[in-house]
Structure 1
Amino acid sequence: MLGIDKLIDAVALILEKHDPPTDEALFEITKAQAMVISMTDGENFNDNIITQAVRSLQARFVHRMPMGALFESEEYRPWLAERQGDIDWYYWERYRKHLSVTKGFSPRVVRTLDTTTDNILDRLEDPHKKGEWAKRGMVVGHVQSGKTANYTGLVCKAADAGYQVIIVLAGLLNSLRNQTQERLDSDFMGWCTRVKDLVGVSRFGTGRRPVCFTSSVEDFKKATANSTAMNLDALNEPVLFVLKKNKSTLENLYGWLSEHNKHNLREFSMLMIDDEADHASVNTNKEDKKPTTINKAIRDLLSLFSRSSFVGYTATPFANIFIDPDNDHEMENGENYKDLFPRDFILSLEPPDNYIGPHRIFVDDADIDCIRSISDNEDLLPAKHKIDFIPDILPSSLKKAVNCFILARAIRLLRGQERKHHSMMINASRFTDVQNILKGIVSEHVKEIRHAVKNYAALSPEQAVLNKVLKSLYDTWYEEYRDAVPEWNIIQTYLKKAINPIEVISINSVSKDVLDYSPDQYPNGRSLIAIGGLGLSRGLTLEGLMVSYFLRNSIMYDTLMQMGRWFGYRDGYADICRIFMTDEAKAWYAHIAESTEELRSDFWSMEKAKLTPLEFGLRVRSHPTALIVTARNKMRCSKDVPVNISLEGRLAETSVVYADDKIIQHNQKVLEKTILSAEKYTARQPTDLGFLWRSVPSDIVKSAIENYENHPECMLTYSEPLIGYLEKLSTEGMDTCDILLRSVKSKDSKPHTINNELIINTPKRTVAVFNNSKIEFSKRRVASKGDEKVGIPYDEVLKIQSDFAGKNVPDREYRKYKWDQGHPPLFMINFIEATAKDNSKSTLVPCFGLSLPGNPASGRRPERTVQYRVNTVWWRKNYLVDQEEEDEEE
């Protein structure tokens, strides 16, 4: 361990249970500890090292992690407080110190983690409680946000409280299972099962150790378990199994437990943690069919124990909540609900404030500029290709991404981050053969750069850039990183050190490469370029990920979010991270980011309403952003997917439209006719946002929606559900709509005449996709933020905005206000000048949006729902393959 690391750890250990000291006090504590280490270990610390240590410690102390929303069963009965003082928290205390000292977690974050894991444990059952019991819960986190840290804390506390058998289900791939085992080796056991030596938390105690029947290189095997010649009742410490979600593995464990512990299992308390609980665990078969294989194997294991607790962890919980999207009775009373539905609690975790998630990258007010567009891949590396495709040449964008990785690594070395991991991800194909061919091509490219750096980087900058490879690196630095390090000559001197240790690996089912960051193998950190598909798409952590090259696409929310390995923590290098993706993928991520943020904001309102998990599940199932994920669960067993959703308090707009000129002209006539009809009923009002017609009969709007030719990818603007919703409102006395014709004040906008009389200035948009078949708006948004406030008195708008302290007000706040004040729905008409990103083409696009007043999270069950039906034949044709096919190809 370096001297400065030793000093930082020593001070962190002193302060781990305290509130952050003042800067002056922290400097004095660090200085005093430096003197102690100097006397005991002979280390020398000058003022510069002490100052660096203080800065590192200050960075730890600033981070906070808020508590999340919690939904619990009405049958919840607390037990932990009563037993708290009698439990020896040995495993938790070791882990807490490990987080604070070794891993550098902020004391505030550790305290929140402590409280959160207490809340989870308390909603499970007391492991010493007699009789039969079964608890089922779910923890919802964010992608790459620290779910493993949370469930490791739960495992430690469960072991302390008396759970005797702990089973962790760690994904479908060996790489993920091995990585999870290594984490638990380090953070729970304190013993490396691969090299048979002390590790991790053992630094803070070696008096006890769990018994583990798996290792970081071997999943559960009967022969290995039999060789121990032990039954569970002979063990004094908790027993740990870390398993891949594989039929044979789960059945082997079931068989071994049944054979060797037949008479004693009923007496044991068992905790099962299901990591990536939405993946393969949930039964998606119809009620009249047998459960899916993995689901049945999990239920069989649970059935062995009369006292069991099951907790699923996931960032994409939709599959777990939608047990059967078509059948509320099955959800409430069926076997799935009884076995795996989280009936006892659902906890929504909030990440620490240094977490980099979708909201910091993709939404309008994103604060990290890291997305770079890929537009040169289709000829050389198309996003959609067959299994026999053979790549030959790397696109220029991929070469630039490799340059970024080398330069970013050089910058991190400059910043003193030498003994850290540095990773790049290339996810461009789902086929293993293509991935392995890419590995060879990328390896040759890296060798070429390494050779050029060796021969030319020692020359003067003027001479070095005469070489085309060095010139390419220079150009990338100038475009991407000159703000981070303004002097190229400094970067050039670090190039050799930056590129030398970089290796290229492929992560898939046939590759022998291993994604290993273990300190015993890589004490100085590892630098690699990882190429993969499914193997890089779920659960796996790429340590120190700086650059991602992403060509995959999917309409499924959960699949796309899980592919986002770039989410996570990038302290000290977030500014130099880069994500290369197509504009279409960026638009999807932006859309999902906003939809997910909206859904999570509903969590808090639902918690205040004291929803139970069942009520929460039913409520979320009616959320329109879950439509796509619902279809995924039913895709293999239904030609048509009916989904009942609620549109209350939502915005439905035509964010994907046909590019066909005839259809555009038809839709323009439809919307112009709508304006002409509105003029007959009420006088138009000029506003800052355009022209407003109040209280127009809703039949006019229904006619517009019915006659507008909607693109099938734009599902929320299917005509039948929208018209059905307006008809429901009419039966309740709300039979009018307001209509807004959007007009802007920008001098650059083009004038457009409506019905030969009304002149507007059209908004301009650079769209994400503009091809021969469709035009897709960036972030799948047409209206601008704030458009939906039209019709609200100015002083009321100011009151709403004052609650957000200068930040952008989500338009849902205006919908809530309109609902409270009895405003009708708002039909927004936009004639938009849409331009391709490369400025190759531009056209006027007629669009509409229907803004429906309401508060989506106000009640326990949505009172008004409409039904959407999605044809899966069309779905498969337009959106690659479904997950089952992808698994087979991998």
Structure 2
Amino acid sequence: MVTSIKILNTLKPPLRWVPEKKEITEDFLRSKSKDPNGPSYEDLTDGVNSVLQEAQRILGRCLPPQDPVGRETGLVVGYVQSGKTMSFETVISLARDNGYGLVIVLAGTKNNLRDQSEDRLKKDLGIDEGDNWYHYSNPTANSKTQIEDKIVAWKKKPTKKAILITVLKHGSHLDTLATLVKKLSVSDVPALIIDDESDQASLNTMAAKIRSGKAAPSEMSTTYEKICALRDVLPHHSYLQYTATPQANLLLAQTDLLNASFAELVTPGDAYTGGKSFFGKNTALVKEIPAEEVPGPSNTLTASPKSLLSALRYFLLACAQHALTRERKKDRNRSMMIHPAMATTSHTHYMGWLDKSLKTLKSFVEKQYKTRPNDVARRFQKEYDSLKKTYPKIKPLSELIAAMVDEVFGELNHVVVNGTKDAEKKIDWKATPYWILVGGAKLDRGYTVEGLCVTYMPRPLGTSPAADTLQQRARFFGYKRAYLGLCRVFVQKNVSEAFTEYVEHEEFVREALESSRGKPLTDWRRDFILTSMLKATRANVVGLGTRRIPANGWMVPDVLQRDDDAAKANRMLLLSVKEKWTAQYGSPINAAEFPQFKGARDSSPHFVLESIPLKAVLEDFLLEVKVKDPLDAEEHSAMLIAITSLLRKNPDLKADVFLMNNLVAGYRTRDEGRGVDAKHRFAPINQYFSQSEAAVNDRSFCSGERVSLQLRRFNLGTMQRDSGSADIKDITWFALHVPSKLRKDLLIEART
């Protein structure tokens, strides 16, 4: 504990206070370490990124319990299915140990999610044992006297049981709770609010209209208004927004009442498998659902899609492997999820196909596996061979088929999970080890499918889908390292591509948050890598202005320098980089020596520094050049992010640098643009590229394979074809070209 406190005391920026691990947190962590499927005690408590130390960091950024009235808002970001619940349970335990008397958990927008959260909290925090907590679920006015008595008792002796409230994130329940809390004696009771899946429902859906002036600044959507009302009746509280998809939270207006002031991260354990595991190098784990096998208005299917039958065979083999090797009290489940469109009619269709296919396959295997074993083996051979490549220690196929007959078929349940009357309301995972779930929204965000092994998700990508919505469908992420090779994900091709692109976006956001960890979030510009296939989040909650900028083709500043000091600094920078790069990488070569640049002349006025490390171009020039115009600065930010991203994937990338006119200053006129008179000293440049009629003109001087940087000088004036009118001499200008094969799409926070 002394070592832990010492580490926490050295964090920069420093914590507000250092929560101590006492008896309740110790008991909680010891209990979790005894879970057959849980991490060890050392994994939970040792190291900077352990569950305990990250929870101490999170709570340590919140209001200290001994402080006077106040409020704090923090954002906590994890991966999908990575341990966010474990994190906030640890935070709750620390809060209880360190003098918080009231904890409120906003536990999802659907009853099945609230039930799932409540069941886990009761089990993990020992609520039913009655030693540390009084628990109230969706309390009403009828609970006032009980809760008030408990608060009075807690005030007399804060080491007694504290109050834990779980509430459905729904306007009416939140309103009831706020009305109740207002009548309680909570003025000197430190409180903690945990908003699970905080990017869903909590945020103000009027934000975009407020930003555009179509709604008054005071306009609020219902759930948002009720959360704000609940916070208003808690004089001393901290509000923690937990999510795996923080795009919406990060794009709130700075004045938004739920805008976080700090961010912390949840680091997954070594056994975690997320986007990088499925959509990085392990492409064998992802299988394509052909478009013709997805039912739709113009594509009627009369029988089970072949890809669905293949997914079923993969799942049965994985279950058989599990049956032959499992420890009865550990890793007890294997499951398959069929996740079609949201409409429940589609669930009925898939359930019908599944039911028929399963019966047919079961009958065939049970009747033939002894008398015609080769015929049965052939039915599974393709899937078995695929699994053998990704999970080499899989049992022989003959043993797996026998295990299907002896155990798997008899213990397999397949059910619909949705909002219809006859659907399964609550899965009893202990009842049987093998499950196939068919459903839509109820199997989406926040829902944990135990032992999920095979996912069949024919849902289309849709038009302009939100990145956060797509990622929340990834129920197949989680702690699966031990059996990752047995997992398969079936999706349409464009969905797989979108997930692949999302992984880069997600890692970029996490790295940015890591570098800003604990610092005021207002200091961090919201600039993201985001594929053009996706939008960041639903538009109605976005309170910040943003621009989408593709780093593809030419990116040319329009105004660039807005003052004489910047112009002077850039002039000196240009001279220094030419000297440095020439010394390190050789003298520039006349561009005419390259066939593609020769054009109509035997020589060229332009010279090339070929194959310079892109990292040097970034560090020596792009990061140093002064870009003072706000709109140019936005594009420059996009440029820097794009180049950094390319180097992250391939640090050895090269670039070509073109010294236009061998850096002899040409003449350009200033233009009226961006609302600036052409006579203004720093008006936009009239044009960058020359309009030469030759076959090769200035725009042509770039590489089709590598990033290209053009450097040049201009004398700027106001008169066409009159270089004598130039009143700004030796202005440095540049342009960057990104070939289409290296394209990056950026979402940039608009500068005001």
User: What corresponds to 1:264 in structure 2?
Assistant: 185
Rounded to whole Å, the distance in 2 between the matches of 1:144 and 1:490 is 32
* Counterpart Cα distance in 2 of 1:697 and 1:556: 46
Instruction: Give the structure-2-normalised TM-score.
Output: 0.69
In the alignment, which residue of structure 2 is the partner of 1:147? Answer: 84
Q: 1:276, 1:674 → 2: CA distance?
A: 55
Once the 2 structures are TM-superposed, how far is the Cα of residue 349 of structure 1 from its aligned partner? 2.6
Structure 1 residue 622 corresponds to structure 2 residue 527:
yes
Cα distance change, pair 323–369 in 1 and its aligned pair in 2 (3 A): same
- Of 469, 477, 502 in structure 2, the residue corresponding to residue 592 of structure 1 is 502
- Contact 1:549–1:580 (CA under 8 A) maintained in structure 2: yes
Q: CA RMSD in A?
A: 4.4
Task: Give 2:367's aligned residue.
Answer: 455
Alignment check: 8 A CA contact 1:374 1:582 kept: yes
1:738–1:824 CA contact under 8 A, matched in 2: no
State the 1:503 CA deviation. Answer: 1.3
Compared CA separation, residues 447 and 116, structure 1 to 2 (3 A): same
Deviations 1:512-558 (A, max 9, x none): 54475657x53xx5321111222222011111110011122253110
Counterpart CA distance in 1 for 2:179 and 2:64 is 27
Query: Is the CA contact (8 Å cut-off) linking 2:192 and 2:239 kept in structure 1?
Result: yes
Pick one of 694, 705, 723 that aligns with 2:658.
Answer: 694
Tell whether 2:605 aligns with 1:643. Answer: no
| Cα distance in structure 2, aligned partners of 1:443 and 1:127 | 56
AA of the residue aligned to 2:177: L
Q: Report the equivalent of 1:815.
A: none
Secondary structure of the 1:549 match is strand
2:312 alignment counterpart? 402
Question: In 2, distance between residues paired with 1:145 and 1:101?
Answer: 19
- 2:634 is aligned with 1:634: no
Q: Which one-letter code corresponds to 1:213 in the other structure?
A: Y
For the Cα contact (< 8 Å) 2:271–2:482, is it kept in 1?
no
User: Against the structure 1 CA distance between its residues 312 and 690, is the aligned structure 2 distance closer, same or farther, given a 3 Å change threshold?
Assistant: closer
* Percent of matched pairs sharing the same residue: 21
Q: What does residue 305 of structure 1 align with? A: 234
Seen in structure 2, the aligned counterparts of structure 1 residues 132 and 269 have a Cα distance that, compared at 3 Å, is same
Question: Cα gap change, 1:127/1:515 in structure 2, threshold over 3 Å: closer, same or farther?
Answer: farther
**Deviations 1:192-246 (CA, angstroms, capped at 9, x unpaired):** xxxxxxxxxxxxxx571311112xxxxx253874796864435541111222211
Moved more, 548-557 or 687-696: 687-696
Tell me, yes or no, if structure 1 residue 543 matches structure 2 residue 450.
yes
- TM-superposed CA distance for 1:490, in Å, is 1.5
Question: Which residue, 353, 359, 362 being the options, matches 2:270?
Answer: 353
Aligned-partner residue type, residue 694 of structure 1: F
> 1:507 and 1:186, CA in 2 relative to 1: closer, same or farther beyond 3 A?
same
Match of 1:123 among 46, 58, 61: 61
SS in 1 for 2:125: helix
CA contact (8 A) 1:143 1:315 kept: yes
- Asked if structure 2 preserves the Cα contact closer than 8 Å seen for 1:501 and 1:527, the reply is yes
Question: Which of 490, 501, 506 in structure 1 is aligned with 2:399?
Answer: 490
Are residue 370 (structure 1) and residue 285 (structure 2) matched? yes
**Alpha carbons 2:656, 2:708 under 8 Å: kept:** no
Paired residues, number: 596
Structure 1 residue 574 displacement after superposition: 0.7
Cα shift at 1:434: 1.7
**Aligned twin of 2:258:** 340
| SS class of match (2:375) | coil
Paired residue for 2:164, among 240, 253, 271? 240
Is the 1:181–1:242 contact (alpha carbons within 8 Å) kept by the matching residues of 2? yes
CA distance in 1, matches of 2:598, 2:506: 34
- 5 Å-filtered alignment, 1:385-424, equals 392-419=302-329, 420-424=332-336
Describe how 1:597-616 pairs up with structure 2 within 5 A: 597-607=507-517, 611-616=519-524
**C-alpha displacement at 1:417, in angstroms?**
4.5
The answer to whether the 8 A contact 2:339-2:458 is kept is yes
Q: Secondary structure at the match of 1:211?
A: strand
Question: What is the deviation of 1:495?
Answer: 1.3
Task: Measure the CA separation in 1 of the matches of 2:285 and 2:707.
Answer: 30
Q: Give the whole-Å Cα distance in 1 for the aligned partners of 2:683 and 2:373.
A: 72
Asked if the contact 1:278–1:314 (Cα under 8 Å) also holds between the matched residues in 2, the reply is: yes
Q: Cα 1:626–1:611, aligned 2, differ >3 Å: closer, same or farther?
A: farther
- Alignment CA distance shift 1:312-1:850 (3 Å): closer
Q: Deviations over 1:400-454 (max 9, x none)?
A: 1011111111112223345511111111111122213322331232233233333
Q: In the alignment, what sits opposite 2:475?
A: 565
The structure-2 alpha-carbon separation of the partners of 1:596 and 1:415, relative to structure 1 and needing over 3 Å to count, comes to same
Distance 1:127 1:414, change over 3 A: same
Within a 5 Å distance, the mapping from 1:217-236 to structure 2 comes to 220=138, 222=140, 225=143, 231-236=149-154
User: Is the Cα contact below 8 Å between 2:248 and 2:536 reproduced in 1?
Assistant: no
**8 Å contact from structure 1 (residues 140, 349) kept in 2:** yes
Larger Rg: 2
Query: Does the CA contact (< 8 Å) of 1:827 and 1:849 recur in 2?
Result: no
Letter in 2 for 1:507: V
Q: 1:734 to 1:210 in 2, by over 3 A?
A: farther
1:378 is paired with a residue whose SS is helix
User: What do the CA deviations read for 1:736-765 (whole angstroms, capped 9, x no partner)?
Assistant: 99954346xxxxxxxxxxxxxxxxxxxxxx
* Partner SS, residue 143 of structure 1: coil
Q: Which amino acid aligns with 2:113?
A: L
Deviations 1:239-295, CA, capped at 9 Å, x for gaps: 11222211122122223334xxx2513232221100111111111313334211111
2:221 matched residue in structure 1: 292
**What secondary structure sits across from 2:279 in the alignment?**
coil
Q: Hey, what's the Cα distance between the residues in 2 that align with 1:411 and 1:603?
A: 40
- Code of the residue aligned with 1:341 in structure 2: it is N
2:414 alignment partner, SS class: strand
Q: If the length of structure 1 is used for normalisation, what is the TM-score?
A: 0.59
Query: Whole-Å Cα distance in 1 between the matches of residues 409 and 701 of structure 2?
Result: 59
State the shift of 1:562 in Å: 0.7
Report the equivalent of 1:213. Answer: 136
Q: Partners of 1:110 and 1:451 in 2: how far apart?
A: 47
Q: Which amino acid aligns with 2:658?
A: R
1:695 aligned partner, one-letter code = L
Q: Does 1:439 align with 2:351?
A: yes
Report runs of 4+ in structure 1 exceeding 6 Å deviation: 16-19, 69-72, 626-631, 672-675, 684-691, 727-731, 733-738, 864-868
* Partners of 2:167 and 2:174 within 8 A in 1: yes
Is the CA contact (8 Å cut-off) linking 1:691 and 1:740 kept in structure 2? no
CA distance in 2, matches of 1:263, 1:589: 47
Would the alpha carbon gap of residues 269 and 414 (structure 1) be closer, same or farther in structure 2, given more than 3 Å must change?
Answer: same
CA contact (8 A) 2:413 2:434 kept: yes
Give the equivalent residue in structure 1 for 2:669. none
Q: Deviation per CA, 1:37-64: give whole Å up to 9, x if none.
A: xxxxxxxxxxxxxxxxxxxxxxxxxxxx
For 2:282 and 2:2, the matched residues in 1 are separated by: 32
Q: Distance in 2 between matches of 1:432 and 1:535?
A: 11
Q: Is structure 2 residue 443 aligned with structure 1 residue 531? A: no
Equivalent residues of 1:537, 1:563 under 8 A apart: yes
Match of 1:615, as an amino acid?
Answer: D
Q: Does 1:96 align with 2:11?
A: no
Instruction: Summarize the alignment of residues 736-747 of structure 1 with structure 2, pairs less than 5 Å apart.
Output: 739-742=701-704
State the match for 2:341 in structure 1.
429
CA 692–300 in structure 1, closer or farther in 2 if over 3 Å, else same: closer
Query: For the Cα contact (< 8 Å) 2:205–2:540, is it kept in 1?
Result: no
> After the TM superposition, which of the residue ranges 622-631 and 501-510 deviates more from structure 2?
622-631
Residues 427 and 531, structure 1, Cα contact 8 Å, conserved in 2: yes
Between the aligned partners of 1:224 and 1:455, the Cα distance in structure 2 is 61
Residue 157 of structure 1 deviates from its aligned partner by 1.1
2:242 is the alignment partner of 1:317: no
Structure 1: unaligned runs, 5 residues or longer: 1-15, 20-65, 192-205, 215-219, 325-330, 655-671, 699-719, 721-726, 744-786, 792-821, 830-846, 857-861, 869-890
Q: Which residue of 2 aligns with 1:663?
A: none
Q: Which residue of the partner structure matches residue 109 of structure 1?
A: 43
Contact 1:170–1:275 (CA under 8 A) maintained in structure 2: yes
| C-alpha distance in structure 1 between counterparts of 2:41 and 2:654, whole Å | 52
Change (3 A) 1:189 1:741: same
